[in-house]
Amino acid sequence: MTETTTAAPPRAYNSFDAECPTRDLLDELSDKWVSLVLVALLDGPQRHSELRRRLNGVSQKMLTQTLRSLERDGTITRTVTAAVPVRVDYALTPLGASLTTVVHAVKVWAEANMDSVALARAEYDARS
């Protein structure tokens, strides 16, 4: 879409550059709650209360902030259904699904390598 709405040359983004907008985006995405919300939504659309249970230990405020920021980025949708009480569902967009693929890999890595990391930490602490 940008090809037709702007004459500017394609921008080469690089998060190593402090001024690049991807630096802030990388910072925002580098958050355990972002990872866990996205991965939870891999199972399909979910309500706020379901997400809150799934993300054991997250505060109401942190979950709301995380969801709003993901909605603003276009990675999740928020759908309000008229009911009593009002029902609100969150779901991945195609953009969010592509992000979740890469973010999920970090969670999988942490779970797969926790033992190696714990061993390395014990050895480091014994040396120090």
109 near its own copies (CB under 8 A): yes
Helix 32-41 to helix 94-127 angle (10° resolution) is 130
Strand partners, 127: none
27 near its own copies (CB under 8 A): yes
49 near its own copies (CB under 8 A): no
Residues 6+ apart with CB under 8 A from 96: 38, 41, 70, 74, 75, 76
4 near its own copies (CB under 8 A): no
The DSSP output letter for 13 is: -
Pick the piece of the chain touching its own copies (CB under 8 A) from 11-19, 42-50, 59-67, 79-87.
Answer: 11-19
13 near its own copies (CB under 8 A): yes
Residues 6+ apart with CB under 8 A from 88: 47, 48, 78, 79, 80, 81
29 near its own copies (CB under 8 A): yes
50 near its own copies (CB under 8 A): no
Give the Cα separation of 97 and 79 in Å (integer).
Answer: 17
42 near its own copies (CB under 8 A): no
Strand partners, 89: 47, 79
Q: Which of 22, 48, 62, 97 binds its own copies (CB under 8 A)?
A: 22
What are the residues binding its own copies (CB under 8 A)?
A: 1-2, 11, 13-18, 21-23, 25-27, 29-32, 34-36, 40, 54-57, 71-75, 95, 98-99, 102-103, 105-111, 113-121, 123-125
